[in-house]
Structure 1
Amino acid sequence: MATAGSPSPYPGDSPEPSFSGEKVYVAVGEESSRGTLLWALHKFPQGTAFVLLHVYSPPNFLPILGAKIPAGQLREQELIAHKKMNLQRISDNLDQYQLICAQQKVQAEKLVVESDDVAYGLVDVISEHNVSMLVMGAADDKHYTKKAAPFGHDVMQDCRQSATSAQCSVERSSSLSEIWCVSNTWLHKLNLEPHIETTSSDRYSDKEKEDTKERGESDNELQHIPMQLERVRQEAYEEKCRREKAEQELFEALQKVQVSENLYFGELKQKNEIEVKLATTMEEVDRLARTADELAAKFQEQCEKILVLEKRSAHSDRIIKDLMLQRDKAVREAEAIRVKNGESTAIADRTIPITELSISEIKEATSNFDHSSKVGESVYGSVYKGLLRQTNVAVKKLNPESTESLSQFSHEVEILSRVRHPNLVTLIGACKDARALVYEYMPNGSLDDRLACKDNSKPLSWQLRTRIASNICSALIFLHSNKPHSIVHSDLKASNILLDGNNVAKLSGFGVCRMLTDEFKATTTLYRHTHPKGTFVYIDPEYAISGDLTPLSDVYSFGIILLRLLTGRSGFGLLKDVQRAVAKGCLQAILDSSAGDWPLMHAEQLSRVGLRCCEIRRKNRPDLQTEVWTVLEPMLRSASSMLCSLSFKSVSEDFGNVPSYFICPIQQDVMRDPLIAADGFTYEAEAIREWFDSGHYTSPMTNLDLPHRDLLPNHALRSAIQEWLQSNAD
């Protein structure tokens, strides 16, 4: 029951309530609830039990990085963390309110409930805990009364149902406070008992009348509550619509902001990555530039060393050639003595001395077979470039794991010790312990490498290719006509054709060659080899099928070589391509354009000769000496004259405009002892003598037979060369 009391220190307060031991619930918010609590502490007598009530409503938008993000877009972990932080803050506020109560020596409990709607949360607390005393601050609104309004629990239920039927979600707390909350006052005991007010004297009768009047006005106001509720509901609905629209617009704006931020951060990340890559690239460029400078300096140093070594090598080569000439001269003199004494001079019984080398010399020459010195490799072994007795040599080390390596070693030594020809590679020495053969070094490598322009080498001109074909043909004729036993190379291919410094071709690879025991006959099978050896592209089809080896097997391989020289292509499928081109009259379309402009007549003749050499049946293949050489010889004369003019021009440029007639056509070097041969050309003495000693009876320039091999000193040219050398030295 409410009782009158002394005037309250708070203006407009209602009279003090009666207290019968019930708990007083004080609704407090996160802010501006201190005054409400103090009011309750002042109004209720000391000893009253208080419950500090807070209804927590999870927010729909959460502040993140200065923007409000809808809660539905956040992860569950983020929502839990945000809720935990809010509850902690609420607990801290309630602790402060408890401290105020403790200072007033009042017992207070904390109660925090969670509800999506504050009004529903308050109603649920009132219903669940049978709350009869509830104090909370009221909103500043003209519709709210400043007097206490007594209601029972049934009225509360009616209000709750009315609020539910109106479906007011956001403004329900305001609507509820309209009914049973007053501004800065407490809520009366929630029952329907009539107010009994006691007075102490008649002087309070006027006050009673005034209170009665005010209660009447309050009753009138209560009658207008449904209308006010409806109006507030409409306003709340409109406000809700406006808020939802604003929320939608805010959500769309946030999405655009998020997209913009993603684009910005993506571009920023890409920019950073590009900057890092650019910095790394610049560092790499600087490092490569420094490395290039270092390599250039080393290269220059090596070039200078190579130049010195080449000069020494050239000098050593001249010495070796002089020694070989002296050796050959001694052999000829010894043979002449034997002829004079009636001894046999059969080539089969004569062998050319081969220098026996120790394994230590071979290892020293090749730096113990260093991999960097390797210039070639095959199934039979490896070839190394070496320096033996101040001379560049090629060392072929046969594979020690091969069961046939020893027999090949002996066989090649036996063959090359019996024959000597300018177009056969010269065997200088051998080492049986290391199974190594030492040959003259061929600086321009193999024909296979030159056709492929390996190491960016210059393409071979058609003139050089014509001369190479003639060189190989001459070497094969020499081998096949060897007396008393013909020699079949049996492994003729582009990789076994080597080129010296002047691109003169020399035949190598005699490891599987055969010396036929019967007299050479072109139409007769002379030797049967049960296991054909060689490269598939170049191998004679009849030899591959039957194992019968004859000189005509080399003719087939020579035909493939001719077709490769014409086209520059590999051997696979080449025969059919040339046959088709010749049949259709479009040979020029498959010629190797890097060789220059082939004379069409020469190209057609070479193609026909090559196709005849590659006939499947041996009996249809041409004879090298009587048929092939008659075609190649006039081509060689034409090509040689052009090569001489080109060589003189090239050497003239290399030697600082040296007169071309100072240059030896064979050595391509300035002559020291010029001699005139029967063809009218002047040669270096040691070069022309070596030419004759190697069995040549033709001119090195025209390839025509010489009437004699007498040589005359060219004193006038020798004086002119010495005078020119002296003037250039000054």
Structure 2
Amino acid sequence: MPESGGFHDLIATEEIAAGQSREGRDGAESRAGSPSPSSRKVYVAVGRNMKEERNKLLWSLEAYQGAKVVILHVHQPDQMVPGPFGGKMHASKLKASELKAFRELERQEMTQAIDGYLLLCASKKVEAERLVIESEDVGKGIVELVAQHEIEELVMGAAADKNFSKRMKTPTSKKAIYVNQHALPSCRIRFVCKGTHIRTREPYASLSSPAVTPSPTHPSSGSEGGRRSSSFSRWFGSPQSNYANSPSPEDAIGRTEEVPRSLSLNSVGTTWSSCEDGQCLSSRASSSTLSMERTGGEDGPPMEPGVDAPIAADRSFPQTETSEEQFQQQSLEMEGMLARLKKAMEEAQASKKEAFQESQWRQQAEQEALEALRKARIAEVLSAKEQRLRKEAEAALSKERLELEKLVEQHKDAVEEIREMSVEKASLERSITEVVRELEEKNQKLDDLLHALDEMEREKLEMQRQMEDAMAKVEELNIRQEEFGEASRMAHSFTEFSLAELVDATNGFDPGLKIGDGGFGTVYRGRIRYTTVAIKMLNSESMQGGSEFHQEVNVLSRMRHPHLVTLIGACTESCALVYEYLPNGSLEDRLSCKDGTPPLTWQARTSIAAEICSALLFLHSAGVVHGDLKPGNILLDSKLSAKIGDFGICRLLPEQDSTVSLCVTTNPKGTFAYMDPEFLATGELTRLSDVYSFGVIILQLLTGRPPLWIARDVQKAHFARNLQAIIDPTAGDWPFVQAVQLANLGLECCNMSRRCRPDLETEVWRVLEPLKGSLAPSTHSMVTDSRRPPEYFICPIFQEIMRDPQVAADGFTYEAEALLGWLDSGHDTSPMTNLKLSHLNLTPNRALRSAIQEWCSHS
């Protein structure tokens, strides 16, 4: 970096030595003046990440109020680009068209980022524009923009925000250090980190010292000339050394015309004035003062380059007198020095242009050499391939020659056989005539048999219809028997709640606590016995409300699985069910981002698909077909783990049938878009009907689209090899291989033919289990060591997980050991309410104990 003000002071001295007119100097003075607020510009260097650069821009808008803001950005193309399978590869390995498309995508993202900065300026009512350049090095790009546009005010970062420290006094990033050392001296640079001003590099032209009044007494002119020459050499140095520390020749020569013409010899540091009584001249060696300030003097320590220290006004050399001849001689020496400097700059510029042209020629030659090498390699590959094909053709030709010889021998044998067969043909024709006659007689008999068979088929259909009606009546009787039989057994398999408890838990069924509503009834969020639960009130007007209530209680009270909704209790008098509360709602709500909830990631969706498959395998092994599997009946807990609910219309299959056991019904129920087409047509519900519904859910997890015609859309995109176009973009960067696997699996499950659908255990689970296992443990695990038990698993007395839960007369569930200890100590009151117990009998809570044991086995 040149010394403060060095290059611009040389240009100003050259203009004075050339004897420019007073009018030109006046124009330069007006241009060098401080700009008005309306025309003032501040350039803010920003990066791609607006989140990290926001504080810097806000600081600039606050510090430069009323000024026009220019968003300065150096676009640095990425050398490592995403590969086809999720990795990284060098940009040189891509084809020209692919690299061009990737660069265009990079520029679009860069434009969107800069638009975000402009919108922020617009929100602060600040006029703003953009200035963008593309460079392999960000620091060099900023320096180039400063030189091209003669930037006077620049704000840039001192370091990354994460490296900010209150002790930071100077910039620490390589870009900031490079710009501080190589940017134009006339540019003021403010370095900011995390919205805090770190340091300012003042323009070197502003460091000129004020004029000093000449002293009436001066030393001899000889000593003054030596002192002035020493001051000049210490400030400017030799032309070669000064050029080595100056900006590049292109930048210096390009800005020669834009240096303020108002600069006089004061800019260099020497002021000349004449006395009225004669040729009395005074000088002020402010340049020597500046040199001493920069170097620290003979005894003081040298100052750090780039530090904006003001020049002390009281440090000056003695004022002396000199002669007019010495002044003219020094002026001539200065003109010669400036001429040599300008010539050196022109030569450097020409050398730089030649070097740039030579670099371009060398690059072109390297590209031609690489292209020739590539063609040579292609020729070698083609030659090897041609030799291999020639050898294969020769081998095939020899093989065909042998086969031809064999065919000739076979032809001779065939001719002989034909001669023998011609003799047999005559005898066969006679035999055929007799067979045809016998065949006509048998056809007549066959027609009679077919007519009798049709009659039997009609009788069979009539008998089948009668059998179906009988089975429907038997099923209806079984359902009624279950309604009456289960009522006596439910008290021993789950907790019975009263209607009054449900009213208190929901504040009188407050509409604000409603979390779900549909044809089945209404779901409320409530709090029973210090536990948050979900209360499902079945619709009393539904004809199937009672049967669905007993059906769901019958299934959930005897089955436990990590991905089935846990039934806590029920209220038989109002047909209400009490479940565990799942805070993340249904899968349908999360796929549609209801109430502004964030979208599910592709890891969570893959894990949810595997968990649903696991629950279906458990249900089918127990002989249960859900019959109404859809995202609305799949709930998510706090860890986004899936749990299947709503078993009101499920069916139990006979135990002797393994895979395609049927449960015939004359009135299919469920949601149309998720129902098995064969179930709709025939009324036959099987395990494969759940597989069809599960396939639709897989395709919804993959695409985020509505269920109607989703299989057709995915199949079209898959055949067109455009699957990426319909994958849900909100799920993140879904691995393409995994997305293809899920798409194939979903399409197989959605096959219209029941026989062509895959088996859950042998085919579907073998695909989903490795996909779920490949996820990171922190993304979405079904069971983790840190999983907390539900509140209703904890004993209110011991504050530990209960092993033998017992229900007391106050309605609360306790650990048997804790409650017996409480009663044995002489207490006859409730540990929770301190009210007297109506009796001291305990009732085992078997449903809760089963749920706790299931949870403990997985935890």
Q: TM-score, normalised by structure 1?
A: 0.41
Q: TM-score, normalised by structure 2?
A: 0.35
Higher-Rg member (1/2) = 1
Q: Per chain length, whose mean CA-contact separation is higher, i.e. which structure has more relative contact order (CA < 8 Å, sep 6+)?
A: 2
